Amino acid sequence: MRRRAVLAPLATAALALTAALLPAGPASAAPADKATVLSGWTQTSAASSNAFHAARADQGAWTAYGFDWSTNYCTASPDNPFGFPFANACVRHDFGYGNYKAAGSFDANKSRLDDAFYADLKRVCATYSGVKKTSCDATAWTYYQAVDKLG
């Protein structure tokens, strides 16, 4: 009986962690709190980015969390500089900035949000090769430096 009492909390914790790491589903199916969901959608991984964009496509399912989905894309910078499609990276970056500011925890998360933005930009650039990739990488670095220093 003692063994079961010890294993039950571990199993519950493992399920909660698994649920938080799975791709986003509707809010009714998500057992995590708002901060956990927000964190899951603002990591540097491609899985985090994909989960965010899937949730963004189905925003209505997440209304219970009260997220701010507004965006101005890449602000005053081109959304698709030199033809590189950076708009989705800017959307996720705006989401992180807006929601962490609203939660009062922006300063503690800014560096990770900027790193996730840069990771998204580098994934865009990874689809190119040669001189075009070099140009994309340089543009991504410039965008990252702008948010890192000015964001």
Show which residues are catalytic.
93
Q: In the structure encoding, which two tokens stand for residue 67, read together?
A: 């997220």
85 touches 103 (CB < 8 A): no
Measured distance CA(115)–CA(20) in Å, rounded: 20
Measured distance CA(48)–CA(42) in Å, rounded: 6
Amino acid sitting at position 138:
A
